[in-house]
Structure 1
């Protein structure tokens, strides 16, 4: 075959990729020009320039001309075929693309999964020998279960004619649309071009790239650079104001539109606010910027004082607790713990005692709604509580072996104990930690993965050992550290894993129908090469950083440096989607070296961006790591202690 003709009015993504790969494509702006330039027995590609609007009409005369001259053709997203309109456009929600046969010569392989973000399609009769279909399926890289019967073919031959390769959607906007994974789309387009007569090693530069190459040497200065870039992103994109009150948005949704855009997640959560306030406060202190410092303090103050977030009625069983989200009278212990941890980092870094009363009321509000053994219910709901009073919770024998929900409260209890001497903070924490470590890790109830639960234990154990220096506590800490290092890869990533699936609260989908209906793991199988920056890696990094300083162990320090280097490398770099420049997304595939995973977790797939849990903590720990500073700072403080004992007496001992 002598040539390929590309019929397009725009600088199509495939054209960009061909030029990037050293090929000089012949481009025609209209159908007549394309036929005039095409040699007999060559091929023409008709692209959808107006997608998701449709305009190309595959008329009988065009088909006749193709057949007369023995041409091959690729046609995408036609408005009509043989003078019959294709169906009205439909879009996807959780459907993904699945390779259906051996058209691509095992690259990608049959039943491989890939993403056509924001896909719009116009179905039509006569599409046969489907190469690609879309369907809602479970699986990470390939189908976990049988192909659904209601799968919709999107690429195949028109009425069995191998010279007419027709697509009901637009495959050629794969760069702008951020289709993934990269190598599969490379294989798809190489396969289509090979079918049309062009053998080429295709490459392109994605719109979303990473700050550093996989084999780059990363330094402490790079940690600081990553911290600053993420803080600039947070301050520029996440801060919002109502009158004089500043708040933080939750981030960006994981859904990607046909043009590569992601949309804001407008939720106003207490934990995200304090976590971002911590990050911005440290950044302001580092660059000596009074405006950013003012904003950080304002955000923190609002979460502790604004009626949408705080509970100030001393007679309420929820007194002192912070809401899950704006006006949301739901109280997760782990959310309150992140509010408190962030507030304590901010307080001790800035030597700002403005929030001491609120911090302590929140600490003891959580302590008094925990049982005798130091475990707390996952969540308490105003108006829907299982108990009538906080004393009912305080006096119950309750055990819940889930560090995701429990362990950061123990970390904050121990931190405040060290600064105040309130003994119950210590005794309840140690009791709960001992019970947990007796069954660690195999009996832990995991939320999205077992690795997430192991990761969460490292921080409280680091603080405990720093306080006591007891060998038993060191042994527990080393056990937790070894538990997570078992999953660390050569590149530094922490592979997500779950071992016993029966222990999972939100396991991977058990059927195709389950996909996208609930919270779920980013992986389908225990060996899938994904790391979760929202539920696992971020907390492993926080814990390992603290453990490396407490244990003074070369192996632990090396592991933490490896993880810090990995996180610095995979920070997002983009000028095409500038609101994402400097972020960390959720799911990263360290084998493919790109953001990719299953998107079974409803609304929280690989590309989601979370301002607090993920970005604020990763950037903050990189900053502290660069400066060789711990998270756990500040020791006995008499003023803080006096306040704590007075509030403890008021909230607990006087009411028993």
Structure 2
């Protein structure tokens, strides 16, 4: 087959055969009958409309009527000649896709009806004219499929029509003009749709050659080595030596490095690099770890003014104010945890001084129950006093926040031997266990209880009543009930499936969707299962750790693009074995790659196993 492509820009491998590519303005001057298929691709930019002149439309019309196959994409169809040729009339100028998805609309047994796909780029609203709709688009909330009766407004996205001896295919969204090669998801379904479209129309649209691949089993030491290289090659470190900190993530939608700097991500990454330095006996990694933390100190992320009500706390991000504003429990507790652990390992007094300042700030704002609000506001603390501001807010009863605070208190106890820290961690953990039915969760019950495990192993050795050990077993029993055959924990029990299109939502809606979360569940559970094993020496915890290690090493990304190679994304489709999940979280969506929360913590969990040690070793 001979094909020609006319486009606003050079396209990357859009066809399954070689095709001549030309600029769009050459279309008027070429003889089209020499080609079996002609593809005309407009601009994918939302501020540019691509229109064809009437003589060109007439030329394409004759080409199709005589038996040619025409594919058109994002060509303005406001006028009658264009709309009648393409079988699609445009209502409004192009807009940018945000949360919209595509849905299989073609009634064909070879395609799963109502199955949902994602893309990135432009889209245009319109209506079809005597065409067959292959895909429609709309703000579908579901993860995998959506029926026609779900109440969501749908608009034609990919259409075909027969005309004379030939046919026309029209795309009202960025398919060939997509901004980069990672945005068509899920790959398995796109390949089915493109194969069927190519077979039915004769337009040789290529299947996807994924830039992101997984499924290669590897030992833990190889996975850690590759992830360490990801930090160096992906751009997450603005300076390779760590002197200017670490960026937060590769964004889920844009696939660009997000230049935010957060103390918790620095702490996670410093922990991983410290462990990696000890495992490899390469001091450059421990030096990087120190520079990451020193960057936070030098840039004033921590309030070290003893006269301030926010003394000891860290800013959430590079907040331009002088003192912390939004003070999240988990973010501060993670910095505290890592600083004090590293002090115990390195003896650096600055880590102790700053880590104990956070620990005391947390302890002084803790409720008598051993629990606390998930967030405090700096201005309110300055106005009312830290303790009073905390007392006026209810405790969160959310292990996502509470358990890392308890783990930080255990590090403070190991450093200071002050029993107030141990007692508070014990009291708070018991309070959660006694009210298990009232616990609050953000993304899923699986993610929250994965976090709950971290302090319980150590505390079980300090609890003469045995209640902590019983609770450790209860939490683990629930998690094991959602263990997938691949070795990861499948997301379950979403507390708010209707929460969609906001920050902090799950990457699944309902049980049985077979999605694994590596931002909030399996990543932390890897380390936490290891700690439970080290504390109890019970086989079920060792087996859970081994399963998780096998799973996470197997889903590490392999890619020719250093932005992705050696890392982990948030949502993994256990059913089809590729990265995919519900896109309802606008802040940390299914394809984000967190420097600290996912990648560093995952590698830290693997390294603890390789080093055969606990973060609570005394």
Q: Into which bin does the TM-score normalised by the smaller protein fall?
A: 0.7 to 0.9
Q: Which sections of structure 2, spanning at least 5 residues, go unmatched?
A: 84-89
Instruction: Sort the Cα spacing of 1:11 and 1:266 in 2 relative to 1 into closer, same or farther, 3 A.
Output: closer
Give the alignment partner of residue 474 of structure 1, picking from 447, 466, 469. Answer: 469
2:252 maps to which residue?
254
Offset of 1:11 from its aligned partner?
7.2
> Bigger shift: 145-154 or 537-546?
145-154
The CA deviation string for residues 234-276 of structure 1, in whole angstroms up to 9 with x for no partner, is 24422236999521111111114xxxxx112122111111111
**1:330 and 2:319 matched:** no
For residue 181 of structure 2, the aligned residue among 172, 176, 185 is: 176
CA distance in 2, matches of 1:180, 1:521: 18
TM-score by length of 1: 0.82
Q: How far is 1:404 from its partner?
A: 0.7
Picking from 411, 414, 419, the partner of 1:415 is 411
CA contact (8 A) 1:284 1:293 kept: yes
CA 254–417 in structure 1, closer or farther in 2 if over 3 Å, else same: same
* Alpha-carbon distance between aligned partners in 2 of 1:448 and 1:231, rounded to the nearest angstrom: 28
Q: Distance in 2 between matches of 1:579 and 1:300?
A: 24
Q: Indicate if the aligned counterparts of 2:264 and 2:332 stay in contact, CA closer than 8 A.
A: yes
Deviation at 1:50, TM superposition (A): 6.7
Q: Which residue of 2 aligns with 1:640?
A: none
The residue number in structure 2 matching 1:95 is 100
Alignment of 1:79-228 (within 5 A): 84=82, 88-102=93-107, 105-121=108-124, 126=129, 128-143=131-146, 146=149, 150-157=153-160, 163-172=167-176, 176-197=181-202, 204-210=208-214, 212-213=215-216, 216=217, 218=218, 222-228=219-225
SS at 1:430's partner residue?
Answer: helix
Alignment of 1:483 with 2:478, yes or no, is: yes
- Equivalent position SS for 2:238: strand
Give 1:449's match in structure 2, choosing from 444, 449, 452: 444
Contact 1:285 1:350 (8 Å CA) reproduced? no
How much does 1:291 deviate? 4.3
* 2:66 corresponding residue in structure 1: 68
The offset of 1:173, in angstroms, is 6.1
Equivalent pair of 1:333/1:409 in contact (CA under 8 Å)? yes
For residue 5 of structure 1, report the CA deviation from its aligned partner: 4.0
Paired residues of 1:13 and 1:173 also in contact (CA < 8 A): no
What SS class does the counterpart of residue 248 from structure 1 fall into? Answer: coil
Matches of 2:190 and 2:390, distance apart in 1: 56
Contact in 1 for aligned 2:44/2:121 (Cα 8 Å): no
Task: Output one character per residue of 1:367-404: Cα deviation in whole Å (capped at 9) or x when no partner.
Answer: 01001111111111111349822343677895432101
Answer yes or no: is 1:590 the counterpart of 2:574. Answer: yes
Cα pair distance change 1:29/1:400, threshold 3 Å: closer
1:437-489: CA deviations, max 9, x gaps?
1222x321111111111111111101212445763332221122212111111
Q: Choose the corresponding residue for 1:519, options 498, 501, 504.
A: 504
Provide the secondary structure at the position in 2 that maps to 1:246.
Answer: coil
Asked if 1:59 corresponds to 2:57, the answer is yes
Where does the alignment leave 5 or more consecutive residues of structure 1 unmatched? 19-24, 39-43, 257-261, 636-656
Distance 1:589 1:622 in 2: 22
In the alignment, the residues of structure 2 paired with residue 394 and residue 28 of structure 1 have an alpha-carbon distance, to the nearest angstrom, of 67
Is residue 194–residue 207 contact of structure 2 (8 Å, CA) maintained in 1?
no
CA positional deviation for 1:62 = 2.0
Name the residue aligned to 1:36: 34
- In structure 2, distance between residues paired with 1:255 and 1:597: 13
Query: Structure 2: how far apart are the matches of 1:401 and 1:244?
Result: 36
1:410 and 1:429 in contact (8 A); partners too: yes
Contact 1:5 1:34 in 2 (8 A): no
* Structure-2 change in CA distance of 1:118 and 1:429 (3 Å): same
CA gap 1:55/1:101 in 2 versus in 1, 3 angstroms: same
Does structure 1 residue 270 correspond to structure 2 residue 274? Answer: no
2:36 is the alignment partner of 1:8: no
Counterpart position of 2:426: 430
Describe the SS at the equivalent of 2:535: helix
Corresponding residue for residue 625 of structure 1: 609
Q: In structure 2, what is the Cα distance between the partners aligned to 1:141 and 1:204?
A: 19
| 1:357 equivalenced with 2:353 (yes/no) | yes
SS in 1 for 2:542: helix
Are 2:386 and 1:390 aligned?
A: yes
Give the match's secondary structure for 2:312.
Answer: coil
Distance 1:199 1:92, change over 3 A: closer
Corresponding residue pairs, total? 589
Cα distance in 2, alignment partners of residues 558 and 98 from structure 1:
40
Shift in Å at residue 14 of structure 1?
Answer: 4.3
Is the alpha carbon distance of 1:149 and 1:631 closer, same or farther for their aligned partners in structure 2, counting shifts above 3 Å? closer
**Are the equivalent residues in 2 in contact too, given 1:129–1:160 (CA < 8 A)?**
no
CA distance in 2, matches of 1:311, 1:465: 34
1:230 aligns with 2:235: no
CA distance, structure 1, for counterparts of residue 204 and residue 243 of structure 2: 59
Q: Tell me the distance in 2 between the aligned counterparts of 1:309 and 1:145.
A: 51
| Of 284-293 and 321-330, the range deviating more from structure 2 | 284-293
- In structure 2, how many angstroms separate the alpha carbons of the residues matched to 1:147 and 1:130? 18
Q: Is the 8 A contact 2:230 2:562 kept in 1?
A: no
Partner of residue 497, structure 1? 492
Shift of 1:407: 0.8
CA 207–55 in structure 1, closer or farther in 2 if over 3 Å, else same: farther
SS in 2 for 1:74: strand
Q: Secondary structure at the match of 2:143?
A: coil
Q: Is the 8 A contact 1:508 1:522 kept in 2?
A: no
Instruction: Please report the RMSD computed on the Cα atoms of aligned residues, expressed in angstroms.
Output: 3.2
C-alpha distance in 2 between matches for 1:295 and 1:99: 49
- Aligned equivalents of 2:502 and 2:242: distance in 1? 39
